[in-house]
Structures are given as structure tokens and as C-alpha cells.
């Protein structure tokens, strides 16, 4: 019983980076742009946030730095993919290599060794935090973790109940029709990609300043790519993404606990689990009908 | 997913075998991309308070300044060329193979296990058998995402990235377990590496006292073979047809899913071969970091080589040199070689972004041809 609660308690913060990154990617993909550079954005902003936190001790400034890094990388991605209409799979890999290379370079030159910081502390929510079992599990987390879970209904509301959400969907489904109605297709796509990238920045910062409180080379270890897979898995809906994020953080948490408890299974096999699960998740993402029709297609006026 | 990427990739694919008027454009744009990336690198060096001129001098010096530098560059170009060939084949079928890293690892594992097991075989038999086995192991690792894409529409970029991580863990499992060097266990060091493969399984050296091995020649020969395969055989034609227009290919009776899975399998095979050659020619044993990031750098080389097997030869030599130079730069100017990784990312962004100009240029030229046809 103690172990089960332990697994669930680790799982909640572990879900936060997935949530930020995958919900951000949901916005980008709903507008028709696949941003495969999420991993690179997460790495560089995780570094940026950690560096600021280490040197100033100001965690809010750290989050702001991460968001700014995300925004800048989002602008770069939009320029290449929307304005220059590049093949998105390739430009995303370019962004990943850039983010990974830069984070390693800066880590080696400015920090050098793995250090830890005092990251965001758990903030107990009055009354709810005192509940038995549920309290420590759900209502004694850090602010970035609460933020990630709050983002789910907010994103759902923006996508499904606002004009902006409708515009994002329309440029992802039928950019030519949206264009003919006077919607600025490129503008909406820039906005969605940059919003997604800023959230990927928050995902990186949450990881390095609220979940593990350290930075090391390749800290994310594929979480950014898994987040992209979660968008397919979740059928381009924030609620679906929430389910996927919880499932994956559960497996991650289980894997960590198996190592702690010394379950007779090689840690190498345990580490493989999330990656195997991602492939399985992609195999069973049958919700293709909900895929934005113009996903991965650059828009050019006058082309059908 | 399939078909949806056609619009974007086709610009990179719309290229016949030898179109010299195109070569200038396809040579100049990517090279300009490399140049801009190096300029941005210089800026980053300034910010890091390093002298860019000294750093780049060290880089060039390291790559081509000595016999050992040149041969080292060619040694690193060899796996890049092989991985790049696979990426070319897959890309021609409009399948993006990001799984080079994992496929290299599988090839390397196979090429370690095989000669260690059949260590009594003579070299003339053991070397080709090991190379074949390495190719097959990589091919299996490419087949899985290939068939998943063809049958279940699983995004191959994501699945290959996951396959990379799985292969990495699989290798750790082996070099810490069944494949761990018995000598290390006996000595109590427990180094996470395999035993040395038998001498007769290693590739012959081309230049004495250097690392340059026969694998480099094999890679160049294979580049020519792949060129003929893609442009002079029916299967190659079908692969390219599937990439250019999957719908039209389907209507003309080409089994599109088969060729997608097949091209990915071949891509995995070539990367596996790269891993096998890295074991047999350079490291002689399996150890962590065996891929040296060739799976990703191979993508950059393939893009810069215009996704053409022959264009890949100079491109992989260029990047082989960059990797060797980066190590020298790290030694003499203390700039981490990860700078080069960041620059590789920028090069990919520039090359993929600049495709718009070659596309527009091609469109304009096609229009010109049409106009002339109308006149005559």
C-alpha cells in the first residue's frame, strides 16, 4: 500500500513536464504544424531556467527565462516552417539538434558539473491539502505542477469555446477556406507554434527547477519526443493528452520505484518501458479521424 | 501520415540523376547554409570569450592539417556515408529515418557477438559474414518502424527515435551483462565494454600507422551501387515513385506500403553496416558511445548531399572533417565540441528552410520550358 501511494505521489509531478509540452504541441498541431523540436526547446530552456535559478536564486525569473527561450525557438521554428514552408519533420530535427547542442555547450562552459538547487517547494493548498491520502497526493505539490494541471481545462476552453480556438482549428483543417474568410493563416500558425514552444519552455523549466532540481547533459532523455507522441495518442484533445501524460508518468514512476525497491528486473529493461510504450501508444492511436487535415502541410495561397 | 508529407519533401526529391544546371543551385545553397552556421558559431565563440579565428584555425588544422587528421576525417566520413546512404533511400520513398543511432548500435552488437562466437573461422569467411550479419541486424531495427508506418501509419520519426533509446538500453544491458569483457571481470574492473573481437575479424588498414581501414573503400563502392540501384533498377524506380507521388504509384499498381517498409529496412541495413564497420575497423570492441552521434550527423550529411548517393560522398567527407576538427578545437582552444552539434542543427534548419528557393527556381524554370513549348 505504501508503495502504491509512493508511486502515485511521484507520478503527479512527473506528469507536469509532459502536460506543458504536449498541450503546447496540441496547439501547434491543431494549427497544422508539427513541431518536432520540442525536445530541443525543453533541453535549452531547462538549462536556462536552471542557470538563472542557480545564479540568482529567483525561481520566477528562471521560469520567465525558460518561456523567453521557448518563444525565441518557436519564432525560429515558425519562420522556417511557416514562412519558408520547410519540411516540418526535418526542420524539427534541426531545432532539436540545435537545442541539444546548445544546452550541452552552455552547460559545459557555464556550469560544468551536475549541481542541485533549491527548486520550487511544495505548496499545500489550505483545507484540501489536509485531506487524508488525497491531500498529500494531489494538493501538496509545487506551483508549476498545479499550473500544468490547470492548463488542461484552460486549453480545452480556448480550443473549443473561443473564436481564437476556432481560428486555430480552421487553419489546421482547411487553410485555404480560412484564408478566404480573411483569417491570417500564417499569423495564427505563428501564434500557435510560439505558444506551444513557450509551453515547451515551461516544461523544461518545470523539470529542472520543480521536479528534479538539477541539470545534466540530455536531461530530458526523450521526454519531448514522447510529448509529441502523446498528442497523437490523445487525439489532439487536451483531455486525451491528460490521460496519456498520466499513463506515461505512471510508468515512469513505476520504473523509478522498481529500481528503488530492487524488484528483480534489470534497470536497463525498466528504463526501456516508456519508449516501448510510446511505440505501442502510437500503434493504437486509432483516432486518426480527428487529425487536423492540413497537418504537416505548408500553406501557399493559390494552391489547392 | 503517409502522403501528407509529400508536398514538403517532394521539393527535395524532384531531382533527376544528373542535372548540371541544378547542381550549382543545390551546391551553393547548402554551402551557404554551412557558411552562415559557421558565422553564427563564430559569434557564439566570441560570447564564450574564445577567439573564433584561433578556434576555426584549430578546426581546419585538425581536419586536414596532417596525415593523421586527413585519415581520421575519412575514418569518420565512412559511417556518415553509410548511414547517409540509408537515409537517402528512405527519403526517396518519403520515409524519414531518424533511427540511425539505434540501427548503428544493433549492427555493432551483431558485429561484436558474431566474431566472438565464431572466433575460429578464417578471416576471408568471418569478415564478410560479420558484415552481412551487422547489415541484417540493422535492417531488422529499420524494418520494425517501416512496417509500423506502412501498416498502422505510425509516425516513423517518433518510432525511430524511440527505437534509438531502446537500442541504447539494450546495448547497456549487454555490455554490463552477457557481453562484458571476461578479462575485465577477471581483473575486477568490470568495465562496461565487450571483449576485443578476434584479430582476423578486423578490417585491414589502408595506410599504415593510421586508423584508415578498408571500410572506407567499401562505403564509396556502395554509394555507387546505391546510385545505380535507385536510378537504374525497377525497384529503385518504384521507391522513388512512391516518394514522389504515393497516390499515383498506388493507382499504377505499385505496392506502396511494401516499398515504404522495404526502403526503411534497407536504411536500417546500411546504418547497421556502419555500426559493424565501426566495430571491425575502428573500436574492435563494443562500448558506450559507439555511435558517436553518426545517426544524426548522417542526416545532416544526407541533406547537404542533396539526398543523392554521389553527392553524399563529398558531404560526408566534409562532416567527417568537421567532427575531427571539433575535437582538435576542444583540445587547443577549450571550446566543447558540442558547439559543432549546435551548428549541425542550424545547418539542418537552413538547408530545410532554403528548399523554398530551389523549389521556386524549379517552378520558374518549368514555366519557362512550358512557354517555349507553347511558342514552338
Which CATH number covers residue B15?
Answer: 1.10.3470
Across the interface, whether the CB atoms of A79 and B353 are under 8 A apart is answered yes
Distance CA(B249)–CA(B258), nearest Å, equals 12
Range(s) of the domain holding residue B229? 6-375
Mean pLDDT (chain A) is: 91
As a whole number of Å, the end-to-end CA separation of chain A is 59
Identify the CA nearest to A21 among candidates A9, A29, A31: A29
Under 8 Å CB-to-CB from B117, ≥6 apart: which residues?
A: none
Best to test chain A binding among B349, B350, B356, B357 (most A CBs inside 10 Å): B349
Examine residue B46 and state whether it is found in any structural domain, yes or no: yes
Distance CA(A27)–CA(A195), nearest Å, equals 7
Distance CA(A45)–CA(A220), nearest Å, equals 11
Give B346's contacts in chain A (Cβ within 8 Å): 94, 98
Confirm if B108 and B278 have CB atoms less than 8 A apart: yes
Out of B7, B345, B355, name the one closest to residue A96 (CB).
Answer: B345
Confirm if B326 and B340 have CB atoms less than 8 A apart: yes
pLDDT tops 60 at residue A110: yes
Query: How does A143-171 read in b/e, with b if 16+ C-beta sit within 10 Å?
Result: bbbbbbbebbeebbebbeeeeebebbbbb
Out of B8, B173, B296, name the one closest to residue A97 (CB).
Answer: B296
Identify the CA nearest to B9 among candidates B93, B74, B94, B117: B94
pLDDT at B50: 85
Q: What is the tens place of the pLDDT at every residue in A9-53?
A: 889 999 999 999 999 999 999 999 999 999 999 999 999 999 999
Confirm if B210 and B68 have CB atoms less than 8 A apart: yes
Q: Does the CB of B330 have a partner CB in chain A at under 8 Å?
A: no
**Domain spans in chain A, listed from the N-terminal domain onward:** 2-116+135-290
- Exposed/middle/buried for A79, CB within 10 Å: 0-12, 13-18, 19+? middle
Across the interface, whether the CB atoms of B159 and A282 are under 8 A apart is answered yes
Examine residue B231 and state whether it is found in any structural domain, yes or no: yes
* CA nearest to A87 within chain B: B8
Provide the domain count of chain B: 1
Torsion of CA A203, A204, A209, A210, to 10 degrees: 30
Out of A79, A100, A232, name the one closest to residue B155 (CB).
Answer: A232
SS3 B202: coil
Across the interface, whether the CB atoms of A101 and B355 are under 8 A apart is answered no
Going residue by residue through chain B, which has 376 residues, state the pLDDT in tens, using 9 for 90 and above.
344 444 444 444 444 445 555 666 777 778 888 889 999 999 998 988 888 999 999 999 999 999 999 999 999 999 999 999 999 999 999 999 999 999 999 999 999 999 999 999 999 999 999 999 999 999 999 999 999 999 988 989 999 999 999 999 999 999 988 999 998 888 888 888 999 999 999 999 998 888 899 999 999 999 999 999 999 999 999 999 999 998 999 999 999 999 999 999 999 999 999 999 999 999 999 999 999 999 999 999 999 898 999 999 999 999 999 999 999 998 888 888 889 899 999 999 998 888 787 777 777 777 766 666 555 5
Confirm if A234 and A242 have CB atoms less than 8 A apart: yes
CATH of domain A2-116+135-290: 1.10.3470
**ipTM score of complex:** 0.91
* CA nearest to B177 within chain A: A266
Nearest-Å Rg of the Cα atoms of chain A is: 19
Across the interface, whether the CB atoms of B356 and A229 are under 8 A apart is answered no
Examine residue B328 and state whether it is found in any structural domain, yes or no: yes
Out of B158, B336, B342, name the one closest to residue A229 (CB).
Answer: B158
Examine residue B1 and state whether it is found in any structural domain, yes or no: no
Q: Does the CB of B152 have a partner CB in chain A at under 8 Å?
A: yes
Across the interface, whether the CB atoms of A93 and B173 are under 8 A apart is answered no
Confirm if B102 and B167 have CB atoms less than 8 A apart: yes
Distance CA(A69)–CA(A48), nearest Å, equals 8
Confirm if B81 and B223 have CB atoms less than 8 A apart: yes
Out of A36, A271, A279, name the one closest to residue B159 (CB).
Answer: A279
* CA nearest to B297 within chain A: A97
Give A36's contacts in chain B (Cβ within 8 Å): 157
Confirm if A146 and A202 have CB atoms less than 8 A apart: no
Q: Does the CB of B161 have a partner CB in chain A at under 8 Å?
A: yes
| Chain B from 71 to 110: CB within 8 A of any A CB | 96, 98
Give B157's contacts in chain A (Cβ within 8 Å): 36, 89, 92-93
Distance CA(A127)–CA(B171), nearest Å, equals 50
Amino acid at each position: 500500500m505504501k508503495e502504491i501511494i509512493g508511486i502515485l505521489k511521484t507520478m503527479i509531478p512527473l506528469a507536469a513536464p509532459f502536460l506543458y509540452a504536449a498541450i503546447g504541441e496540441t496547439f501547434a498541431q491543431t494549427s497544422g504544424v508539427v513541431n518536432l523540436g520540442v525536445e530541443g526547446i525543453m533541453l535549452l530552456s531547462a538549462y536556462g531556467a536552471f542557470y538563472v535559478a542557480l545564479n540568482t536564486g529567483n525561481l520566477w525569473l528562471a521560469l520567465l527565462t525558460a518561456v523567453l527561450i521557448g518563444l525565441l525557438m518557436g519564432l525560429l521554428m515558425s519562420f522556417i516552417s511557416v514562412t519558408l514552408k520547410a519540411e516540418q519533420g526535418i526542420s524539427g530535427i534541426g531545432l532539436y539538434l540545435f537545442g541539444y547542442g546548445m544546452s550541452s555547450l552552455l552547460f559545459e562552459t557555464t556550469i560544468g558539473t551536475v549541481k542541485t538547487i533549491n527548486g520550487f517547494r511544495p505548496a499545500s493548498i489550505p483545507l484540501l491539502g489536509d485531506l487524508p491520502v488525497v491531500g498529500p497526493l494531489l494538493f501538496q505539490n509545487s506551483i508549476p505542477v498545479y499550473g500544468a494541471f490547470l492548463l488542461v481545462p484552460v486549453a480545452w476552453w480556448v480550443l473549443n469555446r473561443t473564436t481564437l480556438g476556432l481560428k486555430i482549428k480552421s487553419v489546421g483543417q482547411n487553410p485555404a477556406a480560412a484564408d478566404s474568410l480573411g483569417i491570417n493563416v500564417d499569423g495564427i500558425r505563428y501564434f500557435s507554434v510560439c505558444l506551444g514552444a513557450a509551453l515547451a519552455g515551461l516544461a523544461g523549466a518545470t523539470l529542472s527547477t520543480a521536479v528534479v532540481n538539477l541539470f545534466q547533459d540530455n536531461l530530458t532523455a526523450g521526454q519531448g519526443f514522447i510529448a509529441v507522441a502523446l498528442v497523437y495518442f490523445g487525439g489532439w484533445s487536451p483531455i486525451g493528452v491528460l490521460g496519456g501524460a498520466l499513463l506515461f508518468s505512471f510508468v515512469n514512476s513505476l520504473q523509478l520505484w522498481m529500481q528503488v525497491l530492487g524488484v528483480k528486473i534489470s534497470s536497463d529493461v525498466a528504463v526501456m518501458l516508456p519508449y516501448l510504450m510510446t511505440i505501442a501508444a502510437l500503434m493504437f492511436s486509432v483516432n486518426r479521424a480527428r487529425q487536423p487535415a492540413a497537418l504537416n502541410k505548408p500553406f501557399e495561397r493559390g494552391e489547392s | 501520415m503517409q502522403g501528407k508529407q509529400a508536398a514538403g519533401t517532394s521539393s527535395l526529391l524532384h531531382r533527376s540523376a544528373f542535372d548540371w544546371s541544378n547542381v550549382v543551385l543545390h551546391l551553393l545553397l547548402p554551402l551557404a547554409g554551412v557558411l552562415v552556421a559557421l558565422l553564427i558559431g563564430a559569434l557564439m565563440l566570441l560570447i564564450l570569450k574564445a577567439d573564433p579565428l584561433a578556434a576555426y584555425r584549430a578546426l581546419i588544422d585538425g581536419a586536414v592539417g596532417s596525415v593523421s587528421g586527413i585519415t581520421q576525417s575519412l575514418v569518420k566520413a565512412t559511417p556518415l556515408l553509410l548511414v547517409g546512404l540509408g537515409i537517402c533511400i528512405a527519403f526517396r520513398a518519403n520515409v524519414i529515418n531518424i533511427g540511425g543511432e539505434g540501427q548503428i548500435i544493433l549492427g555493432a552488437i551483431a558485429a561484436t557477438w558474431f566474431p566472438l562466437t565464431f572466433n575460429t573461422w578464417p578471416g576471408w569467411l568471418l569478415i564478410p559474414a560479420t558484415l552481412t550479419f551487422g547489415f541484417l541486424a540493422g535492417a531488422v531495427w529499420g524494418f520494425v518502424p517501416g512496417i509500423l508506418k506502412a501498416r498502422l501509419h505510425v509516425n516513423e520519426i517518433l518510432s525511430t527515435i524511440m527505437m534509438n533509446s531502446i537500442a541504447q538500453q539494450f546495448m547497456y544491458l549487454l555490455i554490463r551483462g552477457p557481453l562484458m569483457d571476461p578479462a575485465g571481470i577477471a581483473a575486477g574492473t568490470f568495465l562496461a565494454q565487450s571483449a576485443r573481437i578476434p584479430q582476423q575479424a578486423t578490417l585491414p588498414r589502408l595506410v599504415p600507422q593510421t586508423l584508415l581501414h578498408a571500410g572506407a573503400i567499401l562505403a564509396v563502392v556502395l554509394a555507387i551501387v546505391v546510385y545505380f540501384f535507385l536510378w537504374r533498377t525497377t525497384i529503385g524506380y518504384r521507391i522513388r515513385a512512391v516518394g514522389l507521388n504515393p497516390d499515383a504509384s498506388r493507382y499504377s499498381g505499385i505496392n506502396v506500403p511494401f516499398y515504404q517498409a522495404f526502403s526503411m529496412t534497407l536504411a536500417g541495413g546500411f546504418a547497421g553496416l556502419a555500426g559493424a564497420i565501426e566495430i571491425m575497423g575502428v573500436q574492435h570492441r563494443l562500448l558506450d558511445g559507439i555511435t558517436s552521434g553518426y545517426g544524426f550527423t548522417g542526416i545532416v550529411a544526407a541533406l547537404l548531399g542533396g539526398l543523392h548517393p554521389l553527392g553524399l560522398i563529398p558531404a560526408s567527407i566534409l562532416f567527417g572533417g568537421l567532427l575531427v576538427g571539433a575535437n582538435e578545437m576542444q583540445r587547443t582552444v577549450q571550446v566543447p565540441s558540442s558547439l559543432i552539434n549546435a551548428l549541425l542543427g542550424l545547418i539542418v534548419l537552413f538547408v530545410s528552410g532554403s528548399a523554398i528557393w530551389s523549389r521556386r527556381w524549379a517552378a520558374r524554370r518549368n514555366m519557362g520550358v512550358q512557354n517555349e513549348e507553347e511558342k514552338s
